[in-house]
Each structure stands twice: as C-alpha cells, then as structure tokens.
C-alpha cells in the first residue's frame, strides 16, 4: 500500500511539475485603439511559409486559434481559407507586406472571394520553437529482478514568434506582437525519469493570444465561437 | 545480471530511436508508395480569353520517382497522376476554353477552335527526408516545364515552373504522410507559379497572336 502511494506521488509530481519559462511579449498597435470584430466578421490564423528553413508549427497556429476562440473571437479555418483563395496564399504568392496585400486585393476576383468567406482579419504567424542546447545523459538497465534509469538530462528551448494582424477591409496593419520565450527542461532519473518540462511554446502562445485579444474585441460577448468550416 | 543500453539525454530520443529501429526493420520489407491526392481546390483566376489544347504524354501521366537514399528504405513517389489532375484543373480554370488532346501536337486533328497547345513536362523530381535531429522537414522539389506550341506543334516558348513543398515531420512515426503532404505542397506551389506566369493574360495572347500571324495567310484573324 505504502509502495503504491509512493508511486502515485511520484507520478503526480511528474505530471504537474514544469520547469520555469521566461517570456517577453511586445505589442505594437498601429492606431492605438482596440478594433471591434463585428457580427459576421472573422479572423484567420495563417502560418508564414516563405522561408525554406523554418515555419511555425501547426500546433502553435492551432493553439493561437483556440485561445482566440476562447476569447469569443470568431475564427475561420486556415486550410479552408487557403483553399478558398488557391493559389494566392501559397508560399510564393502570399503577400508578405501591406503593399503586397493591397496589390492582391486590387484583383476584384480575390477581394470578392475573401469577402464571401467573411474574413476581415488575417493573423500571420512567423517563427518557430527550436532546441538551442542540450546535455547530460540517462542510462537505463533491465534485469530479471527489475529495472530502472539513472542519470540527468537537460535541454533548452527558445520560442520566437512575430505575429502581424492585417485588416482586409481597411487594407492596413492593425498591429504586431512579438514574443520570445525560453526555458530549460530537466529530466532527473532515479529509477524512473521525471521530466520537468519548460513549455516555451505554450507560454509564447498564451502571450501572443492575450495581446491579440487586447487589440481585437468581439462585438457580442457570448459563448466561444468555433472554427468556421464553410 | 544487468543489460545496459545508453541513449541520448532525452527520453523522447530513446523512444524515437526505438521507433526508428523498428521502422528500419519494417522498411527492409518495403515501404508503401507515396501517392498524393489528385484533388485540388478550384483556383481563383481571371480567365485568359484563349482556346488552349492541353497535351500530356504518358511520361507525365505515369511519372514515378524512385529514390533510394544510402541509409534508408527505397521510396516510390507517384507524381504523374496528381500532376495530370493539377494541370487539367488549373488550365481549365485559367483559359476561356481548354480541350484535352489525346494525340501529340502536329500528329492528329485538333478541335477547330484551338489557338495554341500547352504541354507540361516533368524534368526532375527530388525528395529529402529528415536525417538528423536538427532536420525538421520532409521536402519535395519538382521541376516542371510548360511548353507553348502553335496548333501545328511548333514551339512558341516555354516556361520553367520550379515547385517546392515541405512538411514538418512528426517526432515519432507518421508513415509517409508528411512526405505525401510535401509533394502536394510542391504541386500547389506549381499552381502558384503558373498563376504568376499567366497573371498578365495579355502577354501570352500577344505571343500566340504573333505566332499565328507568322503561320496564317495575311488578312486572317486569330
């Protein structure tokens, strides 16, 4: 009984333990005012893919979309939006500046298609989470009498993202949010490995979504919106 | 007696290494081929007022890329069928009228309204998969050419359409879904490249008109 309790306590510690993350979030508003997302309007969260060596993770993009949805901001599905505007949001055709956005919106066939989706705000995400250092080692052993692991491992991750919000109706930038979150995860192993994870991506997501929520507010407060699929 | 095995610092690496070992063992029996879907969203394009014939020969329709990296299993990527669907759907949306030609340009009768013929060609395909802990993406490169010909089969011009796609590989497993997505991304990129080529519809119209003027008797219109 005592042994089972001990195992449970170790498992619970492992499940809840997290290592520290330090994050820095910066916000730049173009107008200095909060913009209201009117009824029938929505946002789309899009990952930038024009660089060959890096791309924001799908998990990060969907974390942002889910967080904004919980703030009652209506979210349009990224894939549906890209398909609706095919091939103008592919890596080589997607606008990377507000001038390029203007040029794209000058095409009536494209602006009409965007209008038909109800999307007013494009939230562009650029950046990624990467492991910048690691060390230590863990050895595991197994015998007829039992097994276990001994050692200590660590790794450091950094999440760097820059988010730009464009208003398609006004053809202007609403603002920018940049975040830099870093933290070191540890994994001591005394019989069983106990991971102490620094969740840098989650911290960056929370920081960015919070700032976007301050820039854009829903017209009607109510139940969280779900991602539109049509 | 203890049997020790030492891995890297992370447990995730340990799991990944075990899964990689299993997949390599399974890979010896052969991997399933990569067959990208031939369904593409309808493109948003301004139609160019031209009647085009599209000819795709069997080397394009049946193109299969075989890759055998030194340290991993043989990979078979079926590029032809999806490319055929891509060009058919894209060019049908791009031009006012498009007919699929079953015979090589100059060899058979054409529908009477065909003003020019387009023939896509696959020049080269390359794929790359993550090999080290630092690599995150499956990548695909497809080098297409698009040859513009007169109705009699004489080449007017050609465009290179290089296409690139990448898709993040999962930490563990995933089969060939990531590589399939990378190949599809490359095909969508080819569509983006063609959209930029034909964005100025007047340029291709002028080329076709100039070629037509050279071959037709004076006084006749395009």
Question: Cβ–Cβ of A90/B189 closer than 8 Å?
Answer: yes
Backbone angles phi, psi at B178, to 5 degrees: -70, -40
Per the CB < 8 A criterion, the answer to whether A189 and A151 are in contact is yes
Say whether the ipTM exceeds 0.90: no
**pLDDT beyond 90 at B31:** no
Contacts with B191 from chain A: Cβ below 8 Å: 86-87, 90
E strand map for chain B: 3-6, 48-55, 64-67, 75-78, 95-101, 116-128, 137-149, 155-168
Task: State how far the alpha carbon of A158 is from the alpha carbons of A21, A65, B43, B172, in Å.
Answer: 9, 21, 38, 21
Region B153-167: mean pLDDT is: 95
pLDDT tens, position by position, B47-105: 999 999 999 999 999 999 998 777 777 889 999 999 999 999 999 999 999 999 998 88
**pLDDT beyond 80 at A229:** no
Residue B2 is predicted with a pLDDT of 34
Residue A3 is predicted with a pLDDT of 60
Using CA atoms, how far apart are residues A46 and A85, in angstroms rounded to an integer?
Answer: 13
> Which of A83, A85, A93 has its CB closest to that of B196?
A93
Please, which residues 175-194 of chain B have a Cβ atom closer than 8 Å to chain A?
185, 188-189, 191-194
Residue B23 is predicted with a pLDDT of 46
Backbone angles phi, psi at A7, to 5 degrees: -60, -40
pLDDT tens, position by position, B140-156: 999 999 999 999 999 99
pLDDT class for A4, splitting at 50, 70, 90? low
E strand map for chain A: 21-29, 35-37, 42-47, 75-76, 119-143, 146-167, 172-193, 216-218
B107: which 2 tokens?
């060899």
Nearest to B84 by CA among B107, B54, B117: B54
pLDDT tens, position by position, A33-56: 889 999 999 999 999 887 766 788
Residue B69 is predicted with a pLDDT of 74
pLDDT class for B136, splitting at 50, 70, 90? confident
Nearest to A8 by CA among A213, A221, A192: A192
Backbone angles phi, psi at B56, to 5 degrees: -125, 115
**B10 in reach of chain A (CB within 8 A):** yes
- How far A89 CA sits from the closest chain B CA (Å)? 8
pLDDT tens, position by position, A97-120: 888 999 999 999 999 999 999 999
> Which of B4, B10, B189 has its CB closest to that of A139?
B4
**B172 in reach of chain A (CB within 8 A):** no
Average pLDDT, chain B: 83
Contacts with A91 from chain B: Cβ below 8 Å: 164, 185, 189, 192
Using CA atoms, how far apart are residues B126 and B106, in angstroms rounded to an integer?
Answer: 32
> Which of A88, A136, A137 has its CB closest to that of B44?
A88
**pLDDT beyond 50 at B16:** no
Region B111-124: mean pLDDT is: 94
**pLDDT beyond 50 at B6:** no
Task: Establish how many alpha carbons lie within 13 A of residue B49's alpha carbon, considering only the half-sphere containing its beta carbon.
Answer: 4
User: For the whole model, what pTM was predicted?
Assistant: 0.83
Residue B149 is predicted with a pLDDT of 96
Beta strand pairing call for A42-47 and A75-76: parallel
């Amino acid at each position: 009984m005592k042994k089972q309790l001990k195992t449970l306590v170790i498992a619970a510690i492992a499940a809840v333990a997290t290592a520290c993350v330090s994050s820095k979030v910066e916000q730049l508003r173009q107008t200095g005012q909060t913009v209201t997302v009117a009824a029938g309007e929505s946002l789309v969260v899009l990952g930038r893919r024009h660089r060959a060596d890096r791309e924001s993770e799908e998990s990060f993009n969907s974390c942002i979309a889910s967080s904004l949805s919980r703030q009652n901001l209506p979210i349009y599905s990224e894939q549906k939006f890209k398909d609706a505007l095919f091939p103008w949001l592919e890596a080589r055709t997607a606008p990377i500046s507000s001038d390029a956005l203007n040029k794209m919106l000058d095409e009536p066939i494209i602006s009409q298609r965007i209008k038909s989706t109800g999307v007013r705000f494009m939230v562009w995400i650029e950046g990624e989470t990467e492991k910048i250092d690691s060390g230590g080692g863990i050895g595991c052993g197994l015998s007829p009498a039992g097994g276990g692991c001994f050692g200590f491992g660590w790794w450091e991750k950094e999440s760097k993202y820059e988010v730009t919000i464009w208003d398609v109706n006004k053809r202007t930038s609403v603002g920018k949010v940049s975040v830099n979150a870093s933290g070191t995860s540890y994994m001591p192993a005394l019989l069983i490995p106990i991971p102490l994870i620094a969740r840098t991506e989650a911290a960056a997501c929370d920081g960015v979504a919070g700032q976007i929520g301050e820039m854009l507010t829903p017209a009607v407060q109510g139940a969280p919106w779900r991602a539109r699929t049509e | 007696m203890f049997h020790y095995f030492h891995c890297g610092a992370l447990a995730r690496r340990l799991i990944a290494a075990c899964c990689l070992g299993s997949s390599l063992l399974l890979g010896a029996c052969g991997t399933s081929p990569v067959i990208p879907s031939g369904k593409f969203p309808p493109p948003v394009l301004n139609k160019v007022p031209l009647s085009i014939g599209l000819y795709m020969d069997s080397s394009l329709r049946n193109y299969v890329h075989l890759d055998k990296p030194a340290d991993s299993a043989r990979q078979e990527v079926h590029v032809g069928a999806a490319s055929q669907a891509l060009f058919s759907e894209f060019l049908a949306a791009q031009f006012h009228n498009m007919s699929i030609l079953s015979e090589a340009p100059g060899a058979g009768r054409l529908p009477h309204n065909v003003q020019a013929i387009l023939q896509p060609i696959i020049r080269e395909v390359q794929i790359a998969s993550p090999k080290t802990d630092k690599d995150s993406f499956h990548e695909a490169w497809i080098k297409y050419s698009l040859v513009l010909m007169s109705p009699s089969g004489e080449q007017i011009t050609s465009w290179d359409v290089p296409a690139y796609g990448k898709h993040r590989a999962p930490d563990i497993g995933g089969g060939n879904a990531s590589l399939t997505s990378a190949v599809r991304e490359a095909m969508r990129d080819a569509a983006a490249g063609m959209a930029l080529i034909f964005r100025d519809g007047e340029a291709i119209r002028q080329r076709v008109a100039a070629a037509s003027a050279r071959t037709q008797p004076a006084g006749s219109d395009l």
